[in-house]
Structure 1
Amino acid sequence: MELIIDNISKEFKDKVAVDKFNVTLNSGVYGLLGPNGSGKTTLMRILADVSNASSGDILVNGQSKNKLGAKYRDLIGYVPQNIGFYKNFNAEKFLYYVAALKGVDKNIEKSKVDELLKFVNLEQDRKRKIGKFSGGMKQRLGIAQALLNDPKILILDEPTAGLDPNERIRFKNLIAQLSKDKVVILSTHIVSDIEFIANEILVMKEGRLVEKSSLEDILDTVRGKVYTLSISERDLEEVQNKFKISSMIRTNNDISVRIVGDKKPSEKEFKYIEEEPNLEDVFLYYFNESANK
């Protein structure tokens, strides 16, 4: 499976939300990383055929999305940020309803619903009304509905927003299981969601793709640019003005400050050690989202 996003742009009256976005994707999990307002949701809606691009094309195995038409939509599974559930439906009824909308073969409908309820660990809750589900259960049901047509392209827009840590772990494990024969695109501004499951990370800033790399390669872009300083309270304002601060921990005697940037601290001014970078450091480096703001 090859998915090409070819020079996609989306313009609104007063804003360019997606700006000449180009990338080629194959089977695996891709983390689309960017701050709120970077254009992630707009791009995902275009990929899901919910919104039209202003220009550019999407190609599946060399064929244009526009020419494929309904056949393209048959390849798509989509979990938007906010899924419209019927609260009085139970999980089983909801999946049968979506299966009918997607034209799932009646001969396999029951086995498919049973299989997916088991896969997302909702088998015991199949008769429970969705209005009584937790946020994590709704997200898992959202994945189940997206998989009903056995999609080859799975689009997940901010899928872990609002989930507790246990639900987040369960969700990431589900995604890892799905990536064998699918293109999975997961957009988020929560870096821990993709740090351990994404084959490659796409960094999106102001509508543009600014980086596409494996986790290891993208960490290399900030290797040698992450330091921990040991400073006094009187030095804090100066450090905040000079560096991007990732985190700080106060102790009885000093403050331990983690910084990210091209500028190396001066040995004459501060005690420091170089640190191994993580994906949060990458986010800070690209998006300037400092902890001291």
Structure 2
Amino acid sequence: MELRIDKVTKKFKDILAVNNLSVSLSNGIYGLLGPNGSGKTTLLRIIADVMTPTEGNIYLEGKSKKVLEEDYRDLLGYMPQEMGFYKNFTPKKFLYYISELKGIDKREAKEKIGELLKFVNLEKDKNKKIGRLSGGMRQRLGIAQALLNDPKILILDEPTAGLDPNERIRFKNLISNISKDKIVILSTHIVSDVEFIANEILIMKEGALIGKATPSEFIKKLRGKVWSLTITEDELYELDSKYKIVNTYREKDSIVVRIVGDEKPLEYAKAQEANLEDVFFYYIGNSLRKLTTSIH
């Protein structure tokens, strides 16, 4: 199956949220990475057919989304960044409600809802009112509703926000298991969520797609561009103004910094093996550095 995004642009008055973006996707998991404001959510809403692009189009197997209409929507599973719930509904009632909206047969829905409640670990809480559930529990319910119709195109916007470590592992294992015959697009700002399950990584910045490759291909491109060095705290501020610092940590009275860049920052810097977080910082630039650099 091929999903082709062709020259898609979305403008909000003077804001260019998505800028002439083109990419082709086939079955597999795609990690969509980018800082806040990069256009990730807008792009996902367009793919999910809840927002119309200003320009461009989307094609499934060569057929326009505009022509396919309901046939296209029937193949979608979408979890938005902020789910709207009826607080007086229970998880069980909510999933039955969504299954009716999606036109799922009642007998099939009953079986599927039972499976999904077990998977997202809400079986014991299926009759509690949603208003009484924790944020993590509501997040799990959002994942369940996206999977109800066994979608061929699964769109997940920040799906692991609010999940504890065990739930994150369960989620990643499920996505890996169901992705063989699906296109899964998983948007996140947490690199570790997609590092080991994504077949390809898409990196967005300022509405544009600035990189598309497998994790290993991205990492290979960064060989010889990742460095560590031990410095004093006074030196940290000078380095921070000149280089892309991925992270820092204390080591006795010194600070060890990890830097990405095309050139060796200082003569005594030591080369390091790259990882996907390094890739993210290399392509995104300084826009996230001040938010994520910390001294432990």
Q: Does the alignment reach a TM-score above 0.5?
A: yes
- Please tell me whether the aligned partners of residues 139 and 161 of structure 2 are also in contact (alpha carbons under 8 angstroms): no
Scaled by the length of structure 2, what TM-score is found?
0.93
Match of 2:108 in 1: 108
Taking the aligned partners of 2:116 and 2:242, their CA distance within structure 1 comes to 52
Q: Number of residues paired by the alignment?
A: 290
Q: What is the CA distance between 1:161 and its match in structure 2?
A: 2.3
- Please tell me whether the aligned partners of residues 9 and 18 of structure 1 are also in contact (alpha carbons under 8 angstroms): yes
Task: Tell me the SS of whatever aligns to 2:44.
Answer: helix
Task: Tell me the SS of whatever aligns to 1:264.
Answer: coil
Considering only aligned residues, what root-mean-square deviation do their CA atoms show, in Å?
Answer: 1.7
Match of 1:280 in 2: 277
- Please tell me whether the aligned partners of residues 136 and 167 of structure 1 are also in contact (alpha carbons under 8 angstroms): no
Match of 2:222 in 1: 222
- Seen in structure 2, the aligned counterparts of structure 1 residues 273 and 72 have a Cα distance that, compared at 3 Å, is same
- Runs of 4+ aligned residues of structure 1 deviating over 6 Å after TM superposition are none
Match of 2:289 in 1: 290
Q: How does 1:1-293 map to 2 (within 5 A)?
A: 1-267=1-267, 271-288=268-285, 289-291=288-290
Taking the aligned partners of 2:137 and 2:215, their CA distance within structure 1 comes to 29
Letter in 2 for 1:277: A
Task: Tell me the SS of whatever aligns to 2:249.
Answer: strand
Letter in 1 for 2:273: E
- Please tell me whether the aligned partners of residues 33 and 188 of structure 2 are also in contact (alpha carbons under 8 angstroms): yes
Scaled by the length of structure 1, what TM-score is found?
0.93
Task: Tell me the SS of whatever aligns to 2:45.
Answer: helix
Taking the aligned partners of 2:176 and 2:88, their CA distance within structure 1 comes to 31
Taking the aligned partners of 1:162 and 1:114, their CA distance within structure 2 comes to 23
Q: Which shifted more, 100-109 or 114-123?
A: 114-123
Taking the aligned partners of 2:244 and 2:108, their CA distance within structure 1 comes to 55
Task: Tell me the SS of whatever aligns to 2:154.
Answer: strand
- Seen in structure 2, the aligned counterparts of structure 1 residues 135 and 175 have a Cα distance that, compared at 3 Å, is farther
- Seen in structure 2, the aligned counterparts of structure 1 residues 246 and 102 have a Cα distance that, compared at 3 Å, is same
Taking the aligned partners of 2:54 and 2:234, their CA distance within structure 1 comes to 52
**Structure 1 gap segments, 5+ residues each:** none
Task: Tell me the SS of whatever aligns to 2:274.
Answer: coil
Letter in 2 for 1:116: L
Taking the aligned partners of 1:142 and 1:183, their CA distance within structure 2 comes to 18
- Seen in structure 2, the aligned counterparts of structure 1 residues 211 and 175 have a Cα distance that, compared at 3 Å, is same
Letter in 2 for 1:57: N
Q: Which shifted more, 228-237 or 71-80?
A: 228-237
Give identity over the alignment, percent. Answer: 62
CA offsets, 1:65-123, max 9 Å, x none?
A: 00001111101000001111112211111111111111112342222222222233322
Taking the aligned partners of 1:138 and 1:23, their CA distance within structure 2 comes to 32
Taking the aligned partners of 1:160 and 1:118, their CA distance within structure 2 comes to 17
Q: What is the CA distance between 1:11 and its match in structure 2?
A: 1.1
Taking the aligned partners of 2:134 and 2:173, their CA distance within structure 1 comes to 18
- Please tell me whether the aligned partners of residues 247 and 257 of structure 1 are also in contact (alpha carbons under 8 angstroms): yes
Q: Which shifted more, 58-67 or 164-173?
A: 164-173
Q: Which shifted more, 75-84 or 251-260?
A: 251-260
